[in-house]
Amino acid sequence: MLLVFLPMLMGLHWPQDLSDYAAQKEMRFFSLTALSGFAPLFLLQEKDAQRVFYWVVGLLGLVMAAGAAIEVVVSGALRRPEIFNTNPILLARASGFAVLLFCLLYWQNRIKTWSFVPAVALAAVGLLVSGSRGPLAALVVAGGIAIPFSFTMSQSRRRILGTVLAGAAGFSLVIFYLVSARPRIGQRLVRIFEGDWGHTDTSRWEIWSKTVEVIAETPMGVGWGRLSDQVLVYNDDVLLRHPHNIFLEIAVEAGWFALAAFLVLVFAAIVGTLRRIRRPAGGGSSTESGDALVTLASLFYWLGCAMFSGDVNDNRPLWAVLGVALAVQANRQTHDASRVRGKSDVRSG
């Protein structure tokens, strides 16, 4: 993690105004965001602590989804709710993660049907009323990766098939309702299926393409928060200050080497987690493999979210999950080394 954050220093610059976006971005990135990545290495090494971490994030998603459902019922209008004074994207990300987490726990027989159904239904409501498409796409990708692993690991394959079929049917009904009723909240989701790209979509494509051009011209990066000095793209008269893609953002603002370090971190986390799924520490308990699958699905989910919205500081959950993956690997190596020493001591005795 340290070797990843060191190249990020290439994007630092002396700010003229500590209150502007660039300065605030730098201070938050090298304080709170860095803490999100490093803290799990010290606090979440044990399996129980990791499980509590995922449970807390999942329950937070349920609480936000419940708040969104109450707001919709009270107002009587399907509009994008802002829970806890935050934007709808955070609601979508938290509730989408809750859907993913509780599905995985249900498939691993860790929660009962009577608690799973209402929890996932509530979280799905929060995800859909948010009107955000990035977390929905991330959920589909993460679920698509987790289902084959779950199917080979789980003893309750009927649960997996039932969940997938019920989810597909429910989503189809929601889309049918949105197409027929055309509520304002559903227009953003329906446009995807109708091939109608709105201003949000076109501005996103524009800033992505222009960011790629800047990346090719500036290998050392333009500096944190300074993309808008090079690229001017507006969404509803609001200047887009970052490309809404964490890979493009790191490459254009901190440079090619910083992106390479970040890619190595992501690759190491994914490969290490895959190895843990196939060969769990301590002889191969299914619980160990299940924990690893939760981490793997979480990695792909939060990576998917970071591909479509937010800057590096908005994607702190991704840094936290990367830290969890590294902490698990470090703990596994320690466990394996202790086991080897134990066998050696027995042989010498």
State pLDDT tens for residues 195-239: 556 667 788 889 999 999 999 999 999 999 999 999 999 888 888
The residue with greater pLDDT, 19 or 224, is 224
Asked if the model's pLDDT at residue 349 lies above 60, the reply is no
Asked if the model's pLDDT at residue 194 lies above 90, the reply is no
Q: Which residues contact 129 (CB under 8 A, 6 or more apart)?
A: 68, 69, 72, 78, 80, 81, 91, 185
Take residue 136 and report the two structure tokens written for it.
Answer: 């929905």
User: What residue spans of 11-87 are helical by DSSP H?
Assistant: 21-28, 34-43, 47-75
Could you give the 3-state DSSP secondary structure of residue 195? coil
At 347, is the pLDDT very low, low, confident or very high (cuts 50, 70, 90)? low
Region 316-325: mean pLDDT is 95
Region 143-163: mean pLDDT is 85
How far from the centroid of its chain's Cα atoms is residue 245's Cα? 12
Is the backbone of residue 221 left (phi > 0), alpha (psi -120 to 50) or beta? left
pTM reported for the whole predicted model: 0.89
CA distances from 171 to 78, 124, 136, 176, 268 (A): 17, 9, 11, 9, 34
At 340, is the pLDDT very low, low, confident or very high (cuts 50, 70, 90)? very low
Distance CA 167, CA 144 (A): 13
Asked if the model's pLDDT at residue 76 lies above 70, the reply is no
How far from the centroid of its chain's Cα atoms is residue 146's Cα? 14
At 342, is the pLDDT very low, low, confident or very high (cuts 50, 70, 90)? very low
pLDDT score for 32: 95
Region 149-156: mean pLDDT is 78
DSSP tag of 33 = I
Q: Chain-wide mean pLDDT for the chain? A: 85
pLDDT score for 197: 61
* Closest CA relative to residue 250, chosen from 209, 221, 218: 221
Task: Tell me whether residue 71 is exposed, middle or buried, using C-beta atoms within 10 angstroms of its C-beta: 0 to 12, 13 to 18, 19 or more.
Answer: middle
